[in-house]
Amino acid sequence: MRVFKRLALSLLVLVVVTAIALAVWEPLVAESGKAPASRKYDVEIVRDDFGVPHIFGKTDADVAYGVAYAHSEDDFSTIQEVAAMTRARTGAMTGQDGAKVDFAAHLLDIRGTVDRKYDTLPADIRALLDAYAAGLNHYADKHPEEVRLSGLFPLEGRDIAAGFVLRSPFFFGLDSVLGALVEGKDLPIEGGPKLSGKEVARVTPIGPEPDMNGSNAFAVAPARSTDNVTRLISNSHQPWRGGVAWYELVVHSEEGWDFAGATFPGSPYPFLGHNKYLGWTNTVNRPDLIDVYKLELNDDRTQYRLDGQWRDLESQRVWLKVKMGPFTLPVPQTVYRSVHGPVILNDKGAFAIRYAGIDELKMLEQYFRINKARDFAEWQKAMAIQGVPATNFIYADAKGNIAMAYNALFPARKPGANWRGVLPGDRSDLIWKTHLPWDRVPLLVNPASGYIMNANNTPFVAAGPGDELDRASFSALMGIEDDMTNRARQAIKLFEAAGQIDAATLARIKYDVGYDKSDYATGWINALLAVKPDGDKRIPQAQALLRAWDWQMDGKGKGDALALMLMRPAMRQSYRRLPLPDPREELVAAIDHLEKYFRTLDPKLGTVLRLRQGKVDLPMDGGSDTLRAATLWDVDEEDGRFAVRHGDSFIQFVEWDKDGNVSSRSIQPFGAATTRPDSPHYADQAKLFVEHQTKPVYFTRQALMPHAKRRYRP
């Protein structure tokens, strides 16, 4: 009996020790962070009446330090998640989904890229990154109770750079390709015209939720304005929370960095907005920037054939850390690489991936240089650095220039291969090593129509009729998309009907909630109207509402809520370049939901579609693929209402008057402090946002100080 008691006690001790070990081991084995060299930063943060931080510094590095501290005050939780990604510790913070991000970080060898390329960055860029890291460290030191993961701090500039390396390719859809390969599924169809033969059924890789990646952008030249004003509207469509939610700020450095715009957690500078002289905004583009190669492996899968010779397949054992309740479990994985790039092994074989911007850090310099550009020539010189792998840039300036650059790092591909399909991995001549120069990028400057727009459509249609770029001038190997969106068709129709444009007209275009009766929208509605009732009396009632619907998501007409639910799945499939969904399934699902929660097929749109943040609960308008975008939402299981989480996000209206003086207004869905429920700026912009209103941007100190609510030095 004593033996059994001793065994039971020993087993209990073992269980306790194991539990303690699983709870505490991860920080102990994590690589220790390194702080930047100590220095004093001279920075002042001034908060305006909406809590937007205005950061004043003697040097650019001082400002970057202040950006980090101010953003941490408002959303330190999300910034830590981004920081954890750079150390492959996201799984230890957020669990299984985070571990998938860590696997990608290992697979893409982001730390290897930083080790190889960081010291090639200009000294002022490295100083910015170190200063930003120092600002985060300072906040963490002052608020240890907010630190979510032991050993995450201190950070240094290399950690900030690693975040850019990891996230950049995911903006043009690398995650969809990785996901398909890991799961052994068909790869997505890539954009651009067919090159040869029968192509694999693929869709452009544009993220885990493809319809999340969007945006609208508009620029109007003085000649098209009623008042000789140059106008730019930034209208990005991003998630309202998380690592790619916009954060508004204004920065001023005595070294000439003056900028008002927005950034993402983990960045020391704005990604879009304006300075005194010029501004730009971005929309997602969808060129073919990813190539997949099938490798021929030897029997034990340790080598691959290239040009008739066997080469060793690089492999590395990594340990993913997966948080499960109070414990963090170590999960072993192996990552592979070939000369092509990362390699994934599945039941169908071994596949290597090569993508735009692989093993590059130049985006860190490019974004900052365009922040400080003073005219179109300087801006183009900065763009020619070609570090940002993909995204359209829509530009305007104080001199009245407007432009659109279909920016992408187009691989310098060899003609003759089917670059839209899976490529043979045994030919080194198909492994491109460079990209096309800046002068090959599609660029539209000062079109005769006097306006430029993009709504994630083909760059060949960016202005009025007759202003189209010549498709024949651009190689099919570039994989430039031919797609049009409802938003693009609607925008051009409205611009062409408007004549001369003033501020109010441009705002009406931006907030338009209509669908153009062409392309997928009309075909989809016709398919819904053709569904046979088959004894379901509700179907004719729903079809009657759709016939009466005025194709507007303004909440004023009949059938808006029903149409809202039905247009989203069609938009999603159209954007993926896939066949439309089953109309009966979608129609019945929408009917079931509306009857269950609202006891009518025709509730008011604003009753169903909501902006929700804490205790704030407001009606919304707009829909999927309307210029007023309410693209994605979460369904509340208790009341059935849709809480929008993605669509119109940071909006900025910028103007340069006839004398070149700049002014701007902006708005966000919630406020400056979206993860701080106790802050007065948790949701203080929400009412303005749903009412299509904006607030002033105080771009100069003189304009700001009457509205300064708090001034301090961190």
**Span 224-270, pLDDT tens digits:** 999 999 999 999 998 999 888 999 999 999 999 999 999 999 999 99
Band of pLDDT at residue 182, cut at 50, 70 and 90 = confident
Residues 542 and 176: beta-carbon distance below 8 Å: no
**According to the annotation, is 186 in a ligand binding site?**
no
pLDDT at 171: 82
Per CATH, is 214-247+267-288+362-416+434-511 categorized as 1.10.540.10?
A: no
Mean pLDDT of the 301-311 span:
97
Which range has highest mean pLDDT (13-27, 183-197, 278-292)? 278-292
Check whether 48 is labelled as a binding-site residue: no
Q: Which pLDDT does position 170 carry in this prediction?
A: 83
Residue 19 confidence (pLDDT) above 60: no
DSSP state of 186: P
Instruction: Taking each helix axis as running N to C, give the angle between helix 538-548 and helix 560-576, from 0 to 180 degrees, rounded to the nearest 10.
Output: 80
pLDDT at residue number 189:
57
Each residue of 566-603: pLDDT tens digit?
999 999 888 877 889 999 999 999 999 999 999 999 99
Cis upstream peptide for 569 (omega within 30°): no
Mean pLDDT of 631-651: 95
Give 512-545 pLDDT, tens digit per residue.
999 999 889 999 999 999 999 999 999 999 999 9
Residue-level pLDDT at 29: 66
In tens, the pLDDT along 31-82 reads: 778 899 889 999 999 999 999 999 999 999 999 999 999 999 999 999 999 9
SS3 assignment, position 636: coil
Which residues share a beta bridge with 272?
Answer: 262
For tokens 């003056």, the residue is 258
Q: Which segments of 530-559 does DSSP mark as H helices, in order?
A: 538-548
Biggest CA-to-CA distance, the chain: 97
Which spans in 392-537 are helix H? 486-498, 503-510, 519-529
477-to-308, 340, 417 alpha-carbon distances in Å: 26, 18, 9
Lowest mean pLDDT segment, chosen from 368-372, 546-550, 576-580: 576-580
pLDDT in the model for residue 575: 81
Q: What is the mean pLDDT of residues 363-369?
A: 98
Model pLDDT, residue 210: 42
Architecture of the CATH domain 519-626: Orthogonal Bundle (1.10)
Cα separation of 610 and 106, whole Å? 39
What percent of the chain stands above pLDDT 90? 83
Predicted model pTM: 0.93
295-329 core/surface letters (b: 16 or more CB in 10 A; e: else):
bebeeeeebbbbeeeeeebeeeeebbbbbeeebbb
Closest CA to 456 of 290, 193, 213, 174: 213
When mean pLDDT is compared across 33-47, 169-183, 300-314, the lowest value belongs to 169-183
Look at residue 194 in the predicted model and tell me its pLDDT: 42
* Paired sense of beta strands 214-220 and 451-454, if any: antiparallel
Helix or strand or coil: residue 644? strand
- pLDDT (average), residues 338-348: 96
* pLDDT per residue as tens digits for the range 440-465: 999 999 999 999 999 999 999 999 99
Residue-level pLDDT at 573: 87
**pLDDT recorded at residue 26:** 66
Provide mean pLDDT across the span 352-375.
97
Q: Domain boundaries in the chain?
A: 1-30, 214-247+267-288+362-416+434-511, 519-626
Contact 665, 645 (CB under 8 A): no
**pLDDT above 90: residue 16:** no
- Given pLDDT bands bounded at 50, 70 and 90, which one contains residue 14? very low
Phi-psi bin for 176: left (phi > 0), alpha (psi -120 to 50), beta? alpha
Residue 519 assigned as binding residue = no
- pLDDT by residue (tens digit) across 408-430? 999 999 999 999 899 999 999 99
Catalytic one among 72, 176, 215, 236? 215
User: Is 215 among the residues known to form the active site?
Assistant: yes
Average pLDDT taken over every residue of the chain: 91
Banded model confidence at residue 191, pLDDT cuts 50, 70, 90: low
Identify the pLDDT of residue 212.
Answer: 62
pLDDT grade for 203, boundaries at 50, 70 and 90: very low
For the four alpha carbons of 200, 205, 208 and 213, in that order, the dihedral sign comes to: negative
Give the pLDDT score at 211: 43
**Alpha helices per DSSP H over 49-109:** 60-86, 90-94, 96-107
How far is Cα 72 from Cα 69, in angstroms, rounded to an integer? 5
